[in-house]
Structure 1
Amino acid sequence: MFFTIRIYIYAGILVVGSIFNLQKAKKRFHQSNNQVVMEEIFTTPQRVSQKVIQRTGTTVQVNGREKLLDEPVLYVANHQGLFDILAFLGYLGRPIGFIAKKEIKKLPIIRSWMELLYCVFIDRKDRRQSMKAIQQGIENLKAGHSLVIFPEGTRSRGSKIGEFKSGSLRLAMKANVPIVPVAIDGTYHMLEEKGRVQASDITMIISDPIYPIDYQSLKNAELAQRIQHTVEQLLDGCNNKELKKADITK
């Protein structure tokens, strides 16, 4: 438990220490928010996420980076644990935002960084607000800002995937952007498995993009099932020893 407290304190220090960069980022954001500026802004959240994960003793291995596109996409992933978000921020290698729970807006500095990354805050208990948040996400994608969603709706806290809900996939369908399935494995070992922070080995596997022409004839539920099946296959691939030798990031 002492190690867990140390990690939380370390993360807090990094977040507070980012205030100066946050002010610079806000100024740059209001001057211009083109792709170059977004990459500059993303540098701090990326570095902070990497430092926190590294401090836990965890390694992160990413396979399939060559499949990433230089255009806005909707990343669709399974959700094992809290550290999924830091893994994406630290190691995907692209500026991204998230569809996030409204409770995160209570965290001042983190909230400000998330707003700069075009994250969308959603209250799933308020249908009207949820619809408004989804529309905002669609507009963000159309404006060129990639998003990550976890269609299970909550952390699985283990290796088994919950049902992918189809509603959030409307983000891609309405914005007419590619969908990139991503499987992530090992994050639940870091916290959810024992209720305290510990080291793990995380694997992220990026799948081939699914382009609008490939999914526009599908119903939401059919598309959700197809993506879930893809992610499940990717997770099976996490046990492939040859796959684990490729593209390692620590």
Structure 2
Amino acid sequence: MYRVLHTVVPPVAKAVWRPEVRGLHHVPDSGPVILASNHRSFADSMVIPIVVPRKVVFLAKSDYFTGTGFSGWISRNWFEGLGMLPVDRDDQAAAMNSLQTALEVLGRGEAFGIYPEGTRSRDGRLYRGRTGVAHLAMTSGAPVVPVGLVGTEELQPIGSRFPKLAKVSVSFGEPIRVGGEYEGVPSGRARRDLTDRIMTAIGELSGQEPAGVYNDRAPDA
């Protein structure tokens, strides 16, 4: 299903929306890589796989995979075809297990997409990153490619079921690799510092104002 969708959807989407893409050469053609992006719209998890030639795995809420009837079948196959994996965001244990799922994806040499903010920005600011992205990078050794999305909040505004015509740009920054700079540094401090570096790089690509605080998930998210 992924091969079918990725053969059909990206060419059509690019022809209709004509996204502006910068720095795509920073994404390696093979091997494990973490794509760490700002989060402005539900459409973000489709925009990135559309512009990246290789498969990018994202986590998606489990509700999309558990529907019944024909519509449930369509939803399940659509999200599976896009390379997404289900996660129950309301179950703390499942949320922790999602990090292990991400490490398994990276261990297979695949690309994993993550939003360090945790949920969509509803006011356009860039929120403080949660340190799971640093945990993945330090544990797997995979490079982190920062991604800056602009315009996806107009492509599919919060509350909209279908995408609209909008100008979208996707910028990929230079990979951030973890070397020996954190040797001897307490793990919590190291993860916080690396996460802040990643968020700074994302902010430079997206041009967003930093919020300086964490973003709490809205009840209707």
Q: Does structure 1 retain, via aligned residues, the 8 Å contact 2:59–2:87? A: yes
The unaligned stretches of length 5 or more in structure 1 are 1-21, 23-40, 238-250
What TM-score comes out, normalization by structure 2 length?
0.76
| Inter-partner Cα distance in structure 1 for 2:105 and 2:159 | 37
Q: 1:184 aligns with which of 149, 152, 169?
A: 149
Distance 1:109 1:194, change over 3 A: closer
Question: Does the aligned pair in 2 maintain the 1:100–1:120 contact within 8 Å?
Answer: yes
2:8 corresponds to which residue?
47
Distance in 2 (CA, whole Å) between partners of 1:43 and 1:61 is 24
Structure-1-length-normalised TM-score:
0.68
Partner residue, 2:192: 221
Judge which range, 217-226 or 82-91, deviates more: 217-226
Alignment of 1:17-36 (within 5 A): 22=1
> 1:86-235, aligned counterparts within 5 Å?
86-106=46-66, 107-112=72-77, 114-115=79-80, 119-192=84-157, 195=160, 197-213=163-179, 216-217=182-183, 219-235=190-206
Shift in alpha-carbon separation, 1:214–1:102, aligned structure 2, 3 A: farther
Report if aligned partners of 2:35, 2:145 keep a CA contact under 8 Å in 1: yes
Query: Which residue number corresponds to residue 212 of structure 2?
Result: none
**1: CA distance, partners of 2:154 / 2:111:** 27
Aligned to 2:69: none
- Match for 1:79: what amino acid? H
Q: Name the count of aligned residue pairs.
A: 196
Let me know the Cα RMSD of the aligned residues.
2.7
Aligned to 1:75: 35
CA distance in 2, matches of 1:113, 1:221: 35
Residues in 2 aligned to 1:208 and 1:216: alpha-carbon distance in whole angstroms: 20
CA contact (8 A) 2:137 2:144 kept: yes
Flag the structure with higher helix content: 1
Q: Which has the larger radius of gyration?
A: 1
Q: Paired residue for 1:240?
A: none
In the alignment, is residue 85 of structure 1 matched against residue 45 of structure 2?
A: yes
